[in-house]
Amino acid sequence: MHLSRFPRLHFAHLPTPLEPMPRISEHLGGPNLWIKRDDCTGLSSGGNKTRKLEFLMADAVERGADTIITQGATQSNHARQTCAAAARLGHECHILLEDRTGYHDEAYAYNDNVLLDQLHGASISVRPADSDMNAEMEQLAQKLRDDGKKPYLIPGGGSNEIGALGYVNAALETTVQANERSLRIDHFVHATGSAGTQAGLVVGFEAMNSKIPVYGISVRAAKEKQEANVHGLAQRTADFMDINPDLITAEKIVANSDYVGDGYGLPTASMVEAVTMLAQYEGILLDPVYSGKGFAGLIDLIRKGHFNKGENVVFLHTGGSVSLFAYPKVFDLPGYV
Ligand SMILES: *Cc1c(COP(=O)(O)O)cnc(C)c1O
């Protein structure tokens, strides 16, 4: 697999560490848990979108763009990392934020990712829940073109076949790390949303014949819809790389939507438990919207005996912990006297 065939900029801190989690493994009494630290990709406090943006921003540069447009939910980690990448390249950046949760308190609506978007110099504009965000982006792009700009549109989550290359690369990186330390990875688990992370991983592991099954914990869509989204994007990504898309069969795409709760970005009790447990057993910060729900799913699957003792399970930490501060009242904390 020769990813240098595709334009890429290098601004992520790679490879990210692959670390054992002995205390939480012992506490849960199931498989050996490891964590792949994509919260440590470096750009504006890190996260999984940085890997995708290395390929997306390179494409933007190749096409002569001077302005970047993307969209996400109010506390979008993707928007924040895109603003930072655009700042590095000296590009103008416009962010459309969808009011998906309906939260308007100060911490959620102005702080954390929203604060950082602005600090990176982006202009932000908000749209109501369930807006057609792609149409909104296209409308803004036309206005900017009329003003003489050359906008480049990045889809929500950076999830298209170009962005997914970032996770094809992550599959390559993880397989090399595992081989170097003779670690046999039996399962690879992570939170899945806009599908680019899982699609890239499945294609990358397939292309290297790694035989590492990927298990996505959905943070929004129901199982069937999420699997169809991931499958479609994985096949398009394979095709884009001249890999036979028929190799990406439906049974290689697994998503579980049991841990979404009431909806995207809405807290669940199991997320609170997962975030608190990882903070207190491993000193690692998850986030309330993605990795917290993903790890909650992993905890529940372990308790249900889904994995065998002695198996090695890698959890991909996709980042997002800055949004913890947007949910200050959700955690049951002791306070102080
Ligand atoms: C975007 C995001 C995800 C989901 O990745 P997708 O490629 O959109 O499926 C997971 N975790 C965090 C912290 C994210 O920001």
Output DSSP code: residue 331: S
**pLDDT score of 107:** 94
Please state the rounded mean pLDDT for residues 85-92.
98
Confidence tier at 332 by pLDDT (50, 70, 90): confident
For residues 88-95, average pLDDT: 98
Q: State the pLDDT at residue 27.
A: 98
Is 333's pLDDT higher than 90?
no
Would you please indicate which residues are annotated as catalytic (active-site) residues? 76
Indicate the average pLDDT of the chain.
97
Q: What is the mean pLDDT of residues 117-128?
A: 97
Task: For residues 101-109, give the mean pLDDT.
Answer: 95
The Cα–Cα gap between 52 and 36 comes to 16
> Is there a contact between 121 and 87 (Cβ–Cβ < 8 Å)?
yes
pLDDT the model gives residue 77: 98
Please, are residues 297 and 256 in contact by the beta-carbon 8 Å criterion? yes
The DSSP output letter for 290 is T
Q: Flag whether pLDDT at 14 surpasses 90.
A: yes
Chain centre to alpha carbon of residue 51 = 9
Å from CA of 239 to ligand 1 middle:
23
Identify the pLDDT of residue 213. 98
User: Distances in Å between the alpha carbon of 155 and those of 68, 69, 71, 79?
Assistant: 11, 9, 7, 10
For residue 120, the model assigns a pLDDT of 98
SS3 262: coil
Torsion over CA of 244, 157, 4 and 176, rounded to 10 degrees? -80
CA 334 to CA 66: how far, in whole Å? 49
pLDDT tens per residue across span 262-277 = 999 999 999 999 999 9
Rounded average pLDDT over 16-26: 98
CA dist 146 → 60, 97, 139, 142, 240 (Å): 19, 22, 11, 6, 32
Ligand 1 binding site (Cβ under 6 Å of any ligand atom): 47-48, 77-78, 157, 159, 191-198, 287, 290-291, 318-320
The answer to whether 117 and 94 are in contact (CB under 8 A) is: no
**What is the Å distance from ligand 1's center to 191 Cα?**
6
Task: Give me the mean pLDDT over the 218-247 stretch.
Answer: 98
